[in-house]
Amino acid sequence: MTKKTKKIDITADIHYIHRSNWLRAAVLGANDGILSTASLAIGIAAASDSRVPVVLATLAGLVAGALSMSAGEYVSVSSQTDVEKADIEREQQELNEIPEIELQRLAEIYEKRGLKKETALVVAKELSEKDVLAAHVRDELGINEINQAKPIQAAFASGLSFTAGGILPLIVTLFLPLKGMEYYLYSFAIFFLIILGALAAKTGGSSIINAIIRITFWGTVAMGITALVGYLFNVNVG
């Protein structure tokens, strides 16, 4: 009985929030890699009688998409980093100029979280004695190690995962029959998306069923619209 209780206590303390930054970038990249390259290939395949245009368009979409995802993620997350740094510098300046007011602000934060006024002030003083800037950055600005922006990590995760996702539809265009290529691409893309959704949910500790439903529904919508455009225009590109 004791061993069982101990096991429950250990597993109950497992959290996944520390994975949120890189997991978000990786899932977004892989999802975009599968969807964008498969949708592009479906659109071209619907308007082409030759394999070459389909393969070339898919390959070009894969390379451009991976570079775009990496660059875009790096720029956007770097912008967040700049904002964080500016806020931290501003907070340090305020601590130098008006330390008493800043201490009161920190105490008010703890008081709003449920501490009594006297206790909140004591906590604010003790935390300030240890590392005043860290206390304000964490509790006043809301910046910590978990949600702190990491541009290089995000860019690498996005680019690599986009490439991994985009290679899968490319393989389909290379080896499966040209006739009915749109249906092959759709079927395999949905299969890949289901695996991706399940892995992402498992890694993040969330509902696998909800993740699969969400990712397959929107994947179907995206690829369906792209195929429809190809059929409507019916442009012969091969």
Return the pLDDT at 136.
86
Rounded to the nearest 5 percent, the helix, strand and coil shares of the chain are 85, 0, 15
Comparing 140 with 238, which gets the higher pLDDT?
A: 140
User: Region 70-89: what's the mean pLDDT?
Assistant: 86
Q: Is 202's pLDDT higher than 50?
A: yes
Domain boundaries, the chain: 19-233
Q: What pLDDT score was predicted for residue 111? A: 86
pLDDT at 8: 43
Return d(Cα 56, Cα 63) in angstroms, integer: 11
Whether the pLDDT of residue 167 is over 90: the answer is yes
Q: Which helix (H) or strand (E) holds 139?
A: helix 117-139
Higher pLDDT, 195 or 18: 195
Q: In the predicted model, is pLDDT for residue 166 greater than 60?
A: yes
Mean predicted lDDT score pLDDT of the chain: 80
Q: State whether residue 169 is helix, strand or coil.
A: helix
CA dist., res. 75 & res. 78, Å (int): 5
Q: Could you tell me which of 40, 26, 31 has the C-alpha nearest to residue 170?
A: 40
